[in-house]
Chain A
Amino acid sequence: MEKALEIIGLNKVYRNNIRALENINLTVEKGDLFAFLGPNGAGKSTVIGIISSLVRITSGDVYVLGENIKKNPDFAKRNIGLVPQEYNLCQFIPIEETMISVAGYFGINRKDAEKKTYTLFNQLGIWHKRKNTPRELSGGMKRRLMIARALIHSPKILILDEPTAGVDTELRLTMWDFFQELNRQGVTIILTTHYLEEAERLCKNLAIIHKGKIIQRSTMSEVFSMKKNHTYIIKTSELIIDSIQLKGLLFKKIDQNTCEVMADESVSVTYIINELKNFNLNVINIISKRNRLEELFMDLTKEEVSV
């Protein structure tokens, strides 16, 4: 499989001697929809900044589609589209002009830029706002504008740094469909997100970075197979007594009608419901406490912290 991105022995030390990255090695294959996860301050944005030429490398190498970004930065820039975490839009010009300007930086003439803007703005549902400035847009619209801007030069790799932060659920689902469609068209997508459900739903492979080190690199299915336990939040119609011993399950009372039950992945939900019935508790609602990726993420980062 061809590599879209290859990072070898990457280190980053900022001027204030803060070591942001420590010997990062990472490969993302072409056509992947890759989740790059980590808690705040883990080093995700530093890695993204380095790939996008906005952060200097202390040592190590980064290859974009086989080309070293130190030796051929323009090749990397032409092939990468970046949607940064923070809004970085010029606040005073109409968003249509922002698109045409950015296209111009990539050598695309005005006529072609207008066509591409029309297509992208329509796909992302912001065509009717084209004459507005970013100041007049909602948070969700600004995010969509930044996605459109990152795609103006048809990059082969799209880096999305928290693309759905501050976006409502309905729009988030629409954006997921948009990313999946782009990925189907052959665009490699690297996604960082705090919504682990988003990563679980969209991505095939993932890496977790913590304190500047990669602590997990695997496929999504491998990750799920690592997680042996599930925690459920259960609501019952009857009052729950304090001490209940459920066979093969860990039980914790939350309030009079709610409890938390941890079970091995081999244990079925029916078994849990029946066990509770033995104590005259009828289940009226059962939900997973966190999604599986979220649980694993918490476990991994917690372990690292304790180390």
Chain B
Amino acid sequence: MNNAILIAYQTIVRKEFVRFARIWIQTILPSVITIFLYITIFGNFIGDRIGNVDSFHYIDYIIPGLIIMPIISNSYMNVVGSFYSSRFQKSHEELFVSPVPNWIILLGYVTGGVMRAFVVGFAVYIVTTLFTSIPIANVALVILLTFLTAFLFSIAGFINAVYAKSFDDINIVTTFVLTPLTYLGGTFYSIASLPQVWQDISVFNPIVYIISSYRLAFLGVEETSLVLSLSVIISLIIILFVTALMLLSRGTGIKN
């Protein structure tokens, strides 16, 4: 990477970091409060009645899923919000009249999403330690999966931002696609406990693989093969990254 490209990359990343840090009440705090409520209600009030799942207390069982949920939504929302907002204000033109390569633009925005995901993920993890003290089985795997998940959903957010024609288009995808997939991805239950037909349908939900491998990293319980989960996540990253680059190269949503 030559110096000019490195400066351009650092500039986009810094701008993205400053953007979400400046409005932390809107970007970081809501996830912390939401998880606090989830743990209080599902973990304590309801969890005590459910008992154990896979030999873990219910609150411990759902914590990996509760941490990955805001990682998914924040990485996605950071990029879709930031890039669509710049399109809305037309300030993206200042980036596209400069000689920054498309892959650096994409990587810069995605890095911003990944950074926010790590900040939110860490903040949410701190909240969970107030309620439970389960040791993390594999810290390196947690970091790797956090990175890959955030990277994947940041690219997805970028593609959404390219196509979005209004702020409603951002919310439609989040409400009707992202949230259902997350809730049906096994955050609050084991996929193995579902009827066979729903287990078969769940195979097509990528979030199942993310939550399953995240649970493995936290609790050491393997519900789906880690190799399969990583293969699915990395394959999706490659597919979406190439798609996003093609859209940028065509100028979709950017050039007339």
B7 touching A88 by the CB < 8 A rule?
no
A53 touching B96 by the CB < 8 A rule?
yes
Which of B8, B89, B256 has a CB less than 8 Å from the CB of A55?
B256
Q: Give the docked Cα–Cα distance between A274 and B3 (Å).
A: 73
* Contact surface of B with A, Cβ cutoff 8 Å: 3-5, 7-8, 10-12, 14-15, 18-19, 22, 86, 89-91, 93-100, 251, 254-256
Shortest C-beta distance, A159 to chain B (Å), equals 10
Q: Give the docked Cα–Cα distance between A73 and B99 (Å).
A: 8
| Cβ of A181 under 8 Å from chain B | no
A84 touching B93 by the CB < 8 A rule?
yes
| Cβ of A223 under 8 Å from chain B | no
A107 touching B251 by the CB < 8 A rule?
no
Q: Give the docked Cα–Cα distance between A300 and B141 (Å).
A: 71
A107 touching B4 by the CB < 8 A rule?
yes
* Majority secondary structure of chain A interface residues (helix, strand, loop or mixed): loop
A90 touching B99 by the CB < 8 A rule?
no
A56 touching B8 by the CB < 8 A rule?
no
Given A77-B97, A149-B94; A101-B11 close (CB under 8 Å): yes
Q: Give the docked Cα–Cα distance between A97 and B15 (Å).
A: 9
Which of B15, B91, B99, B100 has a CB less than 8 Å from the CB of A89?
B91
| Cβ of A52 under 8 Å from chain B | yes
Please name the 9 residue pairs, one residue from A and one from B, whose CB atoms are nearest each other, closest first. A107-B4, A104-B11, A105-B98, A88-B90, A74-B99, A90-B91, A77-B99, A55-B256, A88-B93
Which of A14, A56, A100, A106 has a CB less than 8 Å from the CB of B98?
A106
Q: Give the docked Cα–Cα distance between A43 and B14 (Å).
A: 37
Among B3, B11, B18, find the residue whose CB has the most chain A CB atoms closer than 10 A. Answer: B11
Q: Give the docked Cα–Cα distance between A93 and B95 (Å).
A: 15
A109 touching B99 by the CB < 8 A rule?
no
A105 touching B90 by the CB < 8 A rule?
no
- Nearest chain B residue, comparing its CB with the CB of A73: B99
